[in-house]
Chain A
């Protein structure tokens, strides 16, 4: 069973532009929907507050791993730790890596998230189920999608 998430997306923008969108904490915050307290620094914890509608009470936290300009940006975190009653810090985090490659049209972004083998899945799913709105909707979409494509 595959225990990592992999995404590839072509962006019609130069690598330098994508790099800034990923690593400037204000720009990252805009598309990721989180208000960060300060810049990303390798080895340090970045903190902020989710701005995604309905999840404004959720704190965001990640430990920046690597920042190799216009090539690799990575951090570890606890994905979608949306339940304030759960202490996620005791769990092994997953590793998120953004890799950039120049293409003729702009930039190829490769995203991987790995380390799911240590995630206590039952509890996470419970957390999602308790939250109404967006997540529930999204879960339905995914379930429908899976049902149609499998």
Chain B
């Protein structure tokens, strides 16, 4: 039976970690793209077919995990990583919100200078 447990890092959810910065790297983007498919992968599976070493992949996964983009799931003795879409969604919602506030402010500016 699968026993899921969030890693300590993910449980703390470090909200201050910059999601954009974590995504601003080719290797990490490709890892996220792979994990986006929905199924969790082990480090070995993620290393297979990559030019990078297991250590390098692990390091990139930790960066993603610290940004809350990836979760480490432990199933028995096995450790797998899965994608967590929440930070990306929240980031987009936040930008949409700030953007909407500008729309309102600029429409007030328009009435102000044209009136």
Residues of chain A having any CB pair with chain B under 8 Å: 1-3, 5, 7, 9, 11-13, 17-18, 21-22, 27, 30-33, 79-80, 109, 111, 113, 116-125, 128, 135, 138-139, 141-143, 146
Residues of A within 8 A of B96 (CB): 142-143, 146
Q: Residue on A with the closest CB to B104?
A: A138
0/1 string, B74-115, CB within 8 A of A gives 1: 000000000000011011111111111111111011111110
Q: Residue on B with the closest CB to A20?
A: B113
**B20 in contact with A142 (CB, 8 Å):** no
**A5 in contact with B98 (CB, 8 Å):** yes
> In whole angstroms, how far apart are the Cα atoms of A115 and B25 in the complex?
17
A7-B103, A111-B106 known; A121+B113 contact, CB < 8 A: no
**B106 in contact with A9 (CB, 8 Å):** yes
**A5 in contact with B102 (CB, 8 Å):** yes
**A122 in contact with B13 (CB, 8 Å):** yes
Complex partner residue of B110 from A1, A9, A135, A146, CB under 8 angstroms: A9
Q: Residue on B with the closest CB to A91?
A: B16
Interface residue B21 (Cβ < 8 Å from any Cβ of A): yes
A5-B95, A11-B114, A17-B113 known; A121+B106 contact, CB < 8 A: no
Interface centre among B23, B88, B94, B99 (most CB of A within 10 A): B94
Interface of A is mostly: helix
A-B contact pairs, 6 of them (CB 8 A): A7-B106, A11-B110, A12-B114, A31-B108, A116-B91, A141-B100
Residues of A within 8 A of B13 (CB): 122
Complex partner residue of A121 from B21, B23, B24, B90, CB under 8 angstroms: B90
Shortest beta-carbon distance, B23 to chain A, in Å? 6
Residues of A within 8 A of B23 (CB): 1
Shortest beta-carbon distance, B61 to chain A, in Å? 19
**B108 in contact with A125 (CB, 8 Å):** no
Identify 11 new A-B residue pairs, CB closer than 8 A, beyond the known A117-B24, A122-B68.
A1-B92, A9-B106, A21-B109, A27-B112, A31-B112, A32-B105, A117-B19, A117-B20, A121-B90, A138-B101, A142-B97
> In whole angstroms, how far apart are the Cα atoms of A17 and B114 in the complex?
9
> In whole angstroms, how far apart are the Cα atoms of A138 and B96 in the complex?
10
Shortest beta-carbon distance, B18 to chain A, in Å? 5
